[in-house]
Amino acid sequence: MADDNALLEKIANHYLFYGSFHSDLGLYNGKMGMVIFFFHYARYTGNSLYEDFAEEFLNEILEKLHTETPISFKRGLAGIGWGMLYLIKQGFMETDIQETFKDMDDKVMEYNLLYMKDRSLETGAKGIGLLSVRTLGQ
């Protein structure tokens, strides 16, 4: 258990130090993944400092989203949107889902998933479809 705590603390310290320099906004290797980590770590440790970092990174993500943001689950809108839905379901944030995700849904709906050759979760139809199914089904 002590080893687990030490490892988690090392991860947190690494993200605290290097996170603001990270340009990838995505879920897999970017800031959205860090946001999820920090919210959970704040709850685990009871230290609101980590929640503050999570909120700061989330705000940065939302400010940097634009019409040219990739749509993929791994690095783009689908993964960021899924991450936000996850945070809502875990009780880390509250928002009007339909209002918050309207622009993301509109962007996702531009793609005909039936004709996409890439069917993968990370960069293709499965990941993009995951966002649209979840948000439209709310």
In a domain, 116, yes or no: yes
For the chain, the domain total comes to 1
**What tens digit of pLDDT does each residue of 40-70 get?**
999 999 999 999 999 999 999 999 988 788 8
In a domain, 19, yes or no: yes
Structural tokens at position 67: 């019409």
Q: The domain containing residue 66 runs over which residues?
A: 1-133
Identify whether the C-beta of residue 131 lies closer than 8 Å to the C-beta of residue 94: no
C-alpha radius of gyration, the chain, whole number: 16
What pTM value is reported for the model? 0.80
